[in-house]
Amino acid sequence: MPEVKPSLLVIADISGFTRFVNETEISHSRHIVAELLESVIAADSLHLTVAEIEGDAVLFYRYGRMASRAALLQLAESFFLAFHNHLSRYRESRVCRCGACATAENLTIKVIAHAGPIELLKVRRFRKPFGIELIRLHRLLKNSIPHQEYLMLTSEFNAYNEFKSTCDPTWLDTFHDHSYYEDLGNLAYTFHPLSPLRSKLQPPKHLNKPLVMADPVVREKLLNHTAEKLHKLLINISLLPDWDQEVKKVLSITEQLNRVGTRHVCVLDSHNLKIETVSNPWPDKIVYAQQIRNAKVVRKMLYYIILESRGNDTHIRVEVHYSHFPLIGGWINNWVRKKAGLHAENMLRSLKAYNF
């Protein structure tokens, strides 16, 4: 028979998730939420066990062991800072303009800690916490707290700990409240807003502006697709072989959403190109920017695909910027420009022929 033991239960829940998913692209919101939950799990300073991922939340437990109030305050701080520092890095590096990516920074996190007797339900090789305390914990996600980001400590958790410590962090404010549930009655708790922790967030690391030359290789064309549709196609690395006739296969380095720093390999007939997404030098324009990392005849080579809306059409301009190695640059400059121009023309021809 499974043994019932007093245990710690913690749930970290993303606030704003429902509206985020309802109003934005499902695919990208799923990726963003997964990355955020991974950052929270990695920030677990108590070495808790992950019971399950519940869409927009992570359920942790510690079977037969408690944690101090001070440890929970530190855990909530670690979760909050990891969550928002990840969002800050993504905001600086994102290249996608969809609703999910543009509004991700509005998400935040709340943490609820509860304690009580549970047993572990074993299904094959998996163990999962089971009991009425799990029901109480999940019900408490819906409460009357007038904040979106907070730590809640239930009265059951507080019963295992001294209420106040002399080493409480300076950001801490404490409020007492309760919520009524028809089948559970009044559930009492204290809560601590996490908003003051925003002063501890890392300042965003601004990206370096990539190479821009005065006389790039330029090719242009008018396409009868919207700029937004073309941009979504360009940043979707997995679709490269579908529209770029020179690319036979793509080897993706990461499963994350494409962003500044994302790397992939384009397999061509005669060789492979190592590509890295770089930042947009012109933030007021719709641009997808890439650098060829293994361009052998030049020191650097970047392709900027600049999209300008013309009603339902798009004027697309491919600019190739490069820098030469010393000494040989002048000798091969004409050859480099010719090759870069041919590649840009093939790219535009492929985009024009693509059937959305």
- Sequence ranges of the domains in the chain: 5-200, 217-353
pLDDT digits (tens, 9 = 90+) for 142-168: 999 999 999 999 999 999 876 555 678
Label residue 349 by pLDDT band (50, 70, 90): very high
Which pLDDT score is estimated for 25? 84
Q: What is the pLDDT of residue 23?
A: 75
The pLDDT assigned to 3 comes to: 87
pLDDT in tens, 180-203: 998 899 999 999 999 999 999 988
Model confidence pLDDT, tens digit, residues 27-78: 899 999 999 999 999 999 999 999 999 889 999 999 999 999 999 999 999 9
The answer to whether residue 270 scores a pLDDT higher than 70 is yes
Report pLDDT for 262. Answer: 95
Least confident range from 85-89, 162-166, 298-302: namely 162-166
Question: What is 5-200's CATH number?
Answer: 3.30.70.1230
- In order of 75, 207, 210, 251, 298, the CA distances from 42 in angstroms are 11, 25, 32, 27, 41
Looking at domain 217-353, its CATH superfamily turns out to be START domain (3.30.530.20)
Q: What percent of the chain is predicted at pLDDT more than 70?
A: 98
Taking phi over 0 as left and psi of -120 to 50 as alpha, with beta for the rest, 116 belongs to: left
**Which of 17-21, 85-89, 267-271 comes out lowest in average pLDDT?**
17-21
Longest dimension (CA), the chain: 83
Q: In terms of pTM, does the model score above 0.85?
A: yes
Identify which of 205, 210, 232, 254 has the alpha carbon closest to the alpha carbon of residue 96.
232
Map the chain to HEC letters: CCCCEEEEEEEEEEECHHHHHHHCCHHHHHHHHHHHHHHHHHCCCCCCEEEEECCCEEEEEECCCCCCHHHHHHHHHHHHHHHHHHHHHHHHHECCCCHHHHHHHHCEEEEEEEEEEEEEEEECCEEEEECHHHHHHHHCCCCCCCCCCEEEEEHHHHCCCCCCCCCCCCCCCCEEEEEEECCCEEEEEEEEECHHHHHHCCCCCCCCCCCCCCCCEEEEEEECCCHHHHHHHHHCHHHHHHHCCCCCEEEECCCCCCECCCEEEEECCCCEEEEEEECCCCCCCEEEEEEECCCCCCCEEEEEEEEEEECCEEEEEEEEEEECCCCCHHHHHHHHHHHHHHHHHHHHHHHHHCCC
Residues with Cβ within 8 Å of residue 214, at least 6 apart in sequence: none
